[in-house]
Amino acid sequence: MTIFVPKPSPGFPSLTRDEVFRIETRRLWLRWPRLESAAAMAEWNGLPEVATQTSTLKVGLSASEMSERIETKRAENCAGSGIHFVMVRKSAHAQPIGMIGVGFTPAGDIELGYHLDPAFRGQGFATEAARALCAQVFELTAATEIVAAAWPDNVGSVRVLERCGFKQSGKGIRESSISGQRPVVKFTLARSRPSALLAAQLRFHPARLQAAADRIKALAS
């Protein structure tokens, strides 16, 4: 009999569990998702070209279903079991154009996931956001690697991972909410391969974020 012993997953640092935590890149802010954006986000999250390339979305996602997803992502952020952001352009910060985040797999690995509004594909936004988030994960945690997976026919997602320095590490099977079990290509980004992350222009150092969070809490008390 094989006994599965998961890797320990104590959660992400307390710094990440407050909505003040965000990441700035050259063109984007990565911030927590908000309920007021649910209706607009449902429109593109439920598109066939988006939903079929993820494992959890469905075609025709409603605003109420999107609200539930946002609440779940925010709860995971608060609990430290995930870091989930929307991507917003600095030039239009009220309009989320994508979602990106990391969480723990059953084995305790930190896994990256992301998807983008099709209207904003082909402009490097997903790569820019993924580089920034992966760089921050390595800075905030002792993780030795970050994993990811993509459907073999999702060429765009594969290219994003490769541009961020991820290397193919095997194949597997993943459950899709639309089409059942499907084969996936697995990828791994090792801490020893940080060169592709140097393009991430992080303007907020963790120490500064913590100081900002402390000031906000002091003012509120």
CATH classification (class only), 14-200: alpha beta
| C-alpha to C-alpha distances, 212 to 85, 87, 207, 215, 220, nearest whole angstrom | 19, 21, 9, 5, 12
Q: Which residue has the tokens 């990391």?
A: 102
Could you read off the pLDDT of 104-162 as tens digits, one per residue? 999 999 999 999 999 999 999 999 999 999 999 999 999 999 999 998 989 999 999 99
Joined together, the tokens standing for residue 146 give: 């970050």
pLDDT in tens, 65-106: 999 999 999 999 999 999 999 999 999 989 999 999 999 999
For the chain, the domains span 14-200
Question: Is the Cβ–Cβ distance between 109 and 187 less than 8 Å?
Answer: no
Tokens coding 157: 């997602």
How far apart CA 73 and CA 148 sit, in angstroms, is 18
pTM of the predicted model over 0.85: no
The whole-angstrom separation of Cα 96 and Cα 30 is: 9
